[in-house]
Amino acid sequence: MPAYFERVDASAFRPTAAVEGAWSTQEQHIAPALGLIAHAIERDHADRRGGDLQLGRISYDILGTIPIERIELDVRILRPGRTIELVEAVLSHDGRPAVIARAWFMQAADTRAFAGSTLPSMPDRDELDPWEMSDHWQGGAVRSVDFHRGQRQPGHAWAWLRPQIPLLQGEPVGPISRLLGMVDFANGLTLRLAPTQVAFPNVDLTCHLFAEPEGEWIGFDTTVSIGPTGLGLTDTVLHDERGPVGTVQQILTVRPLRG
C-alpha cells in the first residue's frame, strides 16, 4: 500500500491520495502532515546531536488549507541548549507557510521508581466495536485508518486508532512521529452535530507527552466542547496499551452551516 508521503529531496515531499481531507477531498487532511513535520524535527535532532534529548511538547499553528501537491519543510533551532532545546519547523506550499510547529526537547532521566499518572484509564480495544469513520467523513485519510470506538455520549468517545499505511515511503518513522500523524483525527471522533450542519475545523493542535508510545494502536479518550460564541475545544488523553502517555488539545472555530 502507498504511504501518505514520498520524499522528493532533503526538504520536499509529495503527498499521495491517502492524504485526502475530511472537509474537502481537494485538500490535505492535516493529520499526516503534522506527523511528517514531527518526523522532520526528530530527524534533524538526530542528525545534529544523536537524539540525546526527548520530545516532550509540540504545538502546531495551522495557517490555512493545503492542496494535495508538493510541500517543503524547513527546520531551525530557536533556543539551543545542552539539556533543553526549542526547535521550529515551517511547512510551506508554493512558498506560502501553511503550518508552523514548535517543539521542546528535554533531557532524559531515570524516573521509573516514581513514574505514574492519575489520568483515567480507558477500555481495551477488544471492548470497543470496529467503527467506520468514513460513514461520517469523506476522503482517503479517514479510509486509511483502522478504528475501534465506543461513544459514551455525543461529545465524548473512546477510540483506538491504527494507521494502515506508513507515514513516509521507504523511510523508518519513530513512534512519536507516527502517533503525531494520527492525533488530529481526534476532532472527528465524537460529533455533537453532523459536519453537514456545522463546521468546526481546528486552527491549532498542541500535544504534551510524558511517555513514548509503544505498540501499533493509539488510544483516544476524547471530549468535544462548544461554547456560545463560536469557539470549541477538542481535548484528548492519549493512551497506549500500558495506559496514558500524554494529552492533545485543539481549539475549534465553530461555524453553523446554512441549509
Give the mean pLDDT of 109-120: 96
Q: DSSP string covering 118-177, please?
A: -SPP---GGGSEE--GGGT--SHHHHTEEEEEEEEETTEEEEEEEESS-SBTTS---HHH
pLDDT at 185 over 90: yes
Residues 6+ apart with CB under 8 A from 48: none
CA atoms within 13 A of residue 106's CA, in its CB half-sphere: 9
The proportion of the chain whose per-residue pLDDT surpasses 70, expressed as a percent, equals 99
What is the per-residue pLDDT for 259? 61
SS3 content of the chain, % helix, strand, coil (to 5): 20, 45, 40
Report residue 176 as a C-alpha cell: 512519536
How far is it, in rounded angstroms, from Cα 38 to Cα 248? 15
Reported as a pLDDT band with limits 50, 70 and 90, residue 1 is low
Contact between residue 12 and residue 70 where contact means Cβ atoms under 8 Å apart: yes
Class of domain 5-108+123-256: mainly beta
DSSP single-letter state for residue 94? T
How far is it, in rounded angstroms, from Cα 170 to Cα 159? 29
Give the mean pLDDT of 8-27: 97
Spell out the domain ranges in the chain: 5-108+123-256
How far is it, in rounded angstroms, from Cα 193 to Cα 187? 12
